[in-house]
Chain A
Amino acid sequence: MKLFIGVACVAASLAAPLRAGAGEIALTFDAGLRTMSNSPETEKAIFGQDNGIGYGLGLSYDRGSRWRFGVEGRRIKREGERAFAADRTSEAFRLGHPLTLTLTEGLASAAFRFGKLGPVSPYVGVGAGIVSWNEESHIAGVVESASGTTGIFEARVGIERQQGPVRLGLEGGITFARNAIGGGGISKVYEETDLGGLFVVGKIGFSRK
């Protein structure tokens, strides 16, 4: 499912001609893989090999042919298990108690478009906002949870192809959500504090002047 989304978006983005328009407003949906690679040991201990899948919705405005500004909301859900590690150099053991991490992100973003490069238009961008996270464990019939909110920063690169009002794109980047975790749990053992990491998503948008 995760791979399919990525591959489908790449294929779709390469199949359509570019049409960049100043003053366009677009509604964009994105979906893809989101890791917690900024805290690799914590991620491995709790989530193993399972990557998170996130879905987002954004509204953007193209100012001139180069700049794009937008606001985005996103929800990411990851399933793992509670774990234990003796110390930061030790192997982590997963204990079978299901753990769900849910991230809800809100960002303001800006992107710079480089113009056409063959059939696509590459761009770079940044975003900043807040992430609200909730961790929920089920331990033999009892639910334990923890939650918090922290600032988030994102850097991204992508390519986009536009055909008529439809925009298709593929985007990758890295998210930073520092000091979100690390006060307890396995993240404290590994002295890791960042909920962010690398991501790759496919995008589909619908625009109008």
Chain B
Amino acid sequence: MSKRILVIPGLILLCSGLALNGPTRPFPRSAVRADDGVRVIDASSLELRAAQGPRTDYASRVVVQFKDAVDDRAAERCVGDAGGLRATRSAFGRRYVVEPMTGMDPAGLTQRLRSMPEVEYAEPDGVVHAHFAPNDSLYSLQWHLKTIGAERMWDIQKGDPSVAVAVLDTGVAYEDFGPFRKAPDFGGTVFLPGFNVFTHDTHANDDNFHGTHVASIIAEATNNSSGASGIAYQSAIMPVKVLDADGFGSNSGIAEGVDYVVNFRQSGVNPVRVINLSLGGSTRSQALQSAIDRAVAAGITVVASAGNDNTSPVDFPAGFSNVIAVGSVDGRKVKAPYSSYGADLDLMAPGGDLRRDDNGDGRPDGVLQQTFDPASAAQGRYDNFAYYFVVGTSQAAPQVSALAALLARQGIKDPRAIQAAMEKTAEDLGASGRDDQFGWGLIRPAEALKGLGLSK
């Protein structure tokens, strides 16, 4: 696949029925080379080192700053009296790094140094490490990942194929089948057997573009020196086609797709812990509500996009109380102009605004992921893959779904607890506390994945 970054022109869908929350803001189409100015750094060795811990026992050392009047001999005497084995002086001042004698507690050494009148301060030498940064060539253009602090998130959790996200959408370019082709940057992505509610078979191929882009946000192959990065890229994806080639579907079709997910078993276990619904409509459906109730009762977290009409209330299914409704912010963490809002809004994620370039990379601030050219798809060609900036709450919701999958992998089994973990650690935006414009605020994955200590 040639590396191209494209901006999909606004795909405006009138939501008379059920439609995907696609991009609503037209932007002049442009094509620029993907790899211009992108520097690739192999981060895989850093990742391995982070997992193994530091070679040097930095945590056992103590940093001590002596007062200006203290000469080297007096400083060394203090270090020895306090129990230090050896001390190394900084080239730039009276700061020493002290290694304790064998078996000595660094905390005790710190306390003894602090008690000395010659010492200005003493503290344990903290350990720092390089954050994992994937080497995907377009990673630097994925501003949304920086906005949610993805590198620290990946230090903690990258997902696992035993935890899957079902993407109920226009399908996903996940297999070579008939005219359909597997998207090139799904090389390492694990897919579960899909389902197509229109044909009632397992071939949930994308004939629109939208579902492939959404699935790529969650689990595009990452750290493979190519393309873009996905958030929960070691999680599995279950493609379920519930929207047609034009991005439309029905409440009954969505319910059918949800029921497929709930009843799926692999070796007696259902690995799907999250359902992503980047879609919505204005009609409250009992059939869909019941299907979602069954999913949540089965321990599956359901996430839906709020809608792209800048209206209140949010669309359904986002409006259901047991569905996490996700709105969209731009690169400034300001509510995107299209993002719907209201009392049912729960969380925000970066969905972008194509009119802006807040990170100054010369590109419009859409969410950059792989998919195929929708114009070609309209002609029956589903192999014209490229990287596209797309905006919308459809792009925000899968970021929350990916985080839900990471939390499930980290150990939180209950959908209510997963939602609470995201809400309680969200960055409060807008009015203090929960509000109708931002819900609980912008997700902070690393904070959510940390969980809670005894008292902190």
Q: Which residues of A contact B (CB under 8 A)?
A: 42, 46, 80, 82-87, 90-91, 93-97, 99, 101, 134-135, 137, 139-144, 146, 148, 180-189
Contact = CB atoms under 8 A, between A and B. Distances in A.
Nearest to B425: A84
B453 A185 contact: yes
Interface in B292-328: none
Contact of A94 (B126, B411, B450): B411
A93 B454 contact: no
Contacts of B450: 82, 95, 97, 137, 139, 144
Contacts, number: 103
Contacts of A139: 156, 450
Interface string B419-456: 11100000000000000000000000000011111111
A183 B107 CA distance: 24
A184 B155 contact: no
B455 A82 contact: no
B207 to A, nearest CB: 40
27 contacts: A82-B450, A82-B451, A84-B421, A85-B417, A86-B414, A86-B416, A86-B421, A90-B414, A90-B416, A91-B417, A93-B413, A93-B417, A95-B449, A97-B450, A99-B453, A135-B453, A135-B456, A141-B50, A141-B155, A143-B59, A144-B450, A146-B453, A146-B454, A146-B456, A148-B455, A182-B455, A185-B455
B412 interface: yes
Nearest to B417: A86
Interface residues of B, number: 27
A4 B390 CA distance: 65
B452 A185 contact: yes
Nearest to A139: B450
A184 B456 contact: yes
A55 to B, nearest CB: 15
Contacts of B451: 82-84, 93, 95, 97
B29 interface: no
Contacts of B126: 143
Contacts of A146: 453-456
Given A141-B50, A143-B127, A84 B455 contact: no
B220 to A, nearest CB: 22
Nearest to A186: B452
Nearest to A145: B456
A135 B417 contact: no
B414 A181 contact: no
Contacts of A135: 453-456
A176 B127 CA distance: 35
A134 B456 CA distance: 11
Given A84-B421, A90-B417, A46 B454 contact: yes
Contacts of B107: 134
A93 B414 contact: yes
Most chain B beta-carbon neighbours within 10 Å: one of A46, A101, A140, A189: A140
Contacts of B455: 135, 146, 148, 180-185, 187-188
B453 A144 contact: yes
Contacts of A46: 453-454
B126 to A, nearest CB: 7
B285 interface: no
B410 interface: yes
Contacts of A42: 454
A96 B411 contact: yes
B129 interface: yes
Task: List the 6 shortest-distance A-B pairs measured between CB atoms, nearest first.
Answer: A86-B420, A95-B451, A181-B455, A82-B451, A146-B456, A140-B155
B454 A101 contact: yes
B53 interface: yes
A134 B126 CA distance: 16
Nearest to A101: B454
Nearest to A47: B454
B454 A187 contact: yes
Contacts of A99: 453-454
Contacts of A140: 50, 155-156
A104 to B, nearest CB: 10
Nearest to A182: B455
A80 B421 CA distance: 20
* Residue of A42, A96, A134, A182 ringed by the most chain B CB atoms within 10 A: A96
B440 to A, nearest CB: 13
Nearest to B408: A93
Nearest to A84: B451
Contacts of B453: 46, 82, 99, 135, 137, 144, 146, 184-186
Given A82-B450, A84-B417, A139-B156, A144 B412 contact: no
